Amino acid sequence: MIEPTDADRLREEMVAHQIEARGVRAPLVLAAMRKVRREGYVPAHLREFAFRDAALPIEEEQTISQPFIVALMVAALELEGGEKVLEVGTGSGYAAAVLAEIAGSVYTVERRAPLAALATERLHRDGYRNVCVRHGDGTLGWPEHAPFAAIAVAAAAPDVPPSLYEQLEPGGRIAIPVGGRVGQELLLVVRSPEGPAVLRSVPCRFVPLVGSEGFDRG
């Protein structure tokens, strides 16, 4: 069992050595990563590994992304605070909590009902009242609450789902892994009058985004 004081120290070391030292310098992102208790978003028997820079297995045979990737994705969105954000792929709820420390409201969609329920419990436990979790097809977004200033997608798609792009406000950004089941790139795409504009790409590896506008269509 990790004592609270040890967890605080380990989390600080995680941010300093795994995130800030590797180039993520956005103050709001670093502050959020220091505050959110990653150990509370992994299965109990894996909590001692929560501060390692590695993806970990969670329920429903899914994973929680490594801390650096979460920080990199959130930093790429360039949130200033108070925005409305969509997340696709709630998973454990960890990234939604990080986003909630910065954004005004976070809408997150998870296709696996047990994960959506667990994430809701964890986020409620930690006091994140500005997060709404929905069980559904994340590739279709959450049109009732569009447009969004930013969208973070936690699984790899064959291309940018049209529904997600259309739910961005003008100038809004989407961070999404794109590619096959291997050979993926984490893209930062902005909505512009000329169409989708890719601002940057980073090699990555994510689980497939399943849904009507992802893999396994129909």
Active site residues: 65
Going by C-beta distance under 8 Å and a sequence separation of 6 or more, which residues neighbour residue 208?
Answer: 155, 156, 181, 214, 215, 216
What sections of the chain are H helices per DSSP? 4-14, 27-35, 67-76, 94-100, 113-125, 162-166
Q: Enter the DSSP assignment of 15.
A: I
What sections of 3-112 are H helices per DSSP? 4-14, 27-35, 67-76, 94-100
Cα–Cα distance, 204 to 189 (Å, whole number): 16
Answer left, alpha or beta for residue 192, where phi above 0 means left and psi between -120 and 50 means alpha.
beta
Cα–Cα distance, 218 to 203 (Å, whole number): 28
